[in-house]
Amino acid sequence: MSQVKENSAVKVNYTGKLSDGQVFDSSEGKEPIEFTLGQGQLIPGFEKGLIDMKLNEKKTITIAKEEAYGDINDALKQEVSKADLPQDMKPEVGMGLVSKAPDGRETNLLVVEVKEDTIVLDANHPLAGKDLIFDLEVVEIK
């Protein structure tokens, strides 16, 4: 019976949850995710959890934040003046913004605090600092 190995191309059904059971992503109702292990397309803990799984096998793995999106990096939080925002923008906590660098790269930002003259933006991945739980099912191994 075939097993998932380093560099295997696989299709996987998954549901990602936080420790409180809140689902943050799932392939349910969609096509399974398809990728080749070892190419850095997914977080390290997800790939490691698939190693040695067999075709049609299901299992649940817990991925420590260090093997997922890492700790929250306070250096990725910055305070900016409201005067630097578009005039018609009314920033609110939880609002997502996108910043474009001169080279065209985009960074997703989250408004985490609104003060009188400034706002605090966070460029950390939304799942940084969190351990993740995945229900996995291998549906194809190439």
Q: Which domain holds residue 31?
A: 9-70+128-141
Q: pTM to 2 decimals?
A: 0.83
Is the residue at 94 inside a domain?
Answer: yes
pLDDT digits (tens, 9 = 90+) for 46-94: 999 999 999 999 999 999 999 999 999 999 999 999 998 888 999 999 9
The CATH number given to whatever domain includes residue 112 is 2.40.10.330
Instruction: Supply 115's token pair.
Output: 């003060």
Would you say residue 21 lies in a domain?
Answer: yes
Q: φ, ψ for residue 65 (rounded to 5)? A: -55, -30
CATH code, 63: 3.10.50.40
> Do residue 66 and residue 79 come from a single domain?
no
Asked if residue 55 is part of any domain, the answer here is yes
**82-138 pLDDT, tens digit each:** 998 888 999 999 999 998 889 999 999 999 999 999 999 999 999 999 999 999 999
Asked if pLDDT for residue 1 goes beyond 70, the answer is no
1 lies in a domain?
no
Helix (H, G, I), strand (E, B) or coil at 16: strand
Q: Is residue 2 part of a domain?
A: no
Query: Are 58 and 4 in contact, with CB atoms under 8 Å apart?
Result: no
Same domain, 52 and 14: yes
**How close are the terminal C-alpha atoms of the chain, in Å?**
12
- Domain total for the chain? 2
Same-domain pairing of 82 and 64: no
Strand partners, 114: 119
Both 28 and 66 in a single domain?
yes
